Amino acid sequence: MKCVKCRDRAAVHIRRHNSAFCQGCFQEYFSNQVARAIKEDHMLTRQDRILVAVSGGKDSLALWDVLSTLGYDTGGLHIHQGIFEYSASSYEKTTRFAAERGLSLITIDLAAEGDLDIPGVASSTRRTQCSACGVIKRHYFNKVAVEGGYTVMATGHNLDDEAARLLGNVLHWQTPYLAVQSPVLEATHPQLVRKVKPLYRLSEYETAAYAFLRGIDYIVEECPFSHDAIQLQYKEALNQLEHRSPGTKHSFVLGFLREGRKAFAEASAVQLKECLSCGYPTTSDICGFCRLQEQVHKAKSGLRN
Ligand code: AMP
Ligand code: ZN
């Protein structure tokens, strides 16, 4: 098969676009898809200061690579979750990536933030690791961005992530989540920054290929707690559909964004208040992060008494 652009030997085949690219043209295609998402969805401008959430995995490192290559003003944020070898290795890949490219990186060590490491939080509260991790990460993503004067927060969610999340939300008719499932979430409060997902048009396979071709050293292992198994099952189901009918994920996600989301957004507009404890926006009196932190403190002081 030949590259559809330069007729050289193809290295990456993209069935849903019925096309194939050589190594160089694929990197150009990848970066064009990111640029297109940024432009069409009004994600970023050259004036923005962008905080990129980097886990050390292929998606977020590919995102940081492409945004900095496109000349955007970026800084990284890595959250050290305290998940044994997995976190040690994620931290190592992230710090090396930043150092090699001279990019600035902020690291938050959850164990040092009042015992908020994920294994500890899960055992001292009755939460699953994944739900605690989600609440904690979202809190720090926003807080670090606001306090650091960043105007946008970018994550590495790709098309497969968005399709799996959409499938889960539809299967359970999670209408409040459907209302806010979007590659861009505008800041609706002075203590919130805009959240963007510039890779949402690119599949997991494409981000892996990009990371490989760019020589990015990323952590391959999944989080040992990522028995967010249901999310993985949704991905598997979607992969089967995609295999038979290339383009399924793309039309599912982009069709929803074009046709469906607005209806849910209008139906469930929420009123934001400020958390009585930390001051960050929330829909209840005390935000999810502060409730979780309180549970951890109670469990720890119970242990000490
Ligand atoms: P996940 O929830 O693991 O699928 O990750 C989704 C996105 O969240 C990644 O692409 C990153 O942008 C971000 N992210 C996940 N884990 C971390 C972490 N430990 N530190 C910083 N960002 C993260
Ligand atoms: Zn709070």
Is the separation of the CB atoms in 287 and 275 below 8 Å?
Answer: yes
pLDDT at 270 over 80: no
Residue 278 CA to ligand 2 centre (angstroms): 4
pLDDT at 2 over 70: yes
Q: What ligand is nearest to the CA atom of residue 278? A: 2
CA 93 to chain centroid, in Å, comes to 17
pLDDT at 226: 79
Provide φ and ψ at 2, rounded to 5°: -110, 155
Element (H, E) at 77: strand 73-80
pLDDT at 86: 95
Per-residue pLDDT of 217-240, as tens digits, reads: 999 998 888 766 788 899 999 999
Does residue 58 line the site of ligand 1, with CB under 6 A? Answer: no
Nearest to 76 by CA among 113, 39, 44, 102: 102
pLDDT at 268 over 70: yes
Q: Whose CA is nearest to atom 23 of ligand 1?
A: 55
Q: 92-112: string of b/e by CB count within 10 Å (b at 16+)?
A: ebbbebbeeeebebbebebee
Provide φ and ψ at 175, rounded to 5°: -60, -40
Dihedral (Cα; 129, 145, 280, 267), 10-degree rounding: -80
pLDDT at 194 over 80: yes
Pairing of strands 49-53, 105-109: unpaired
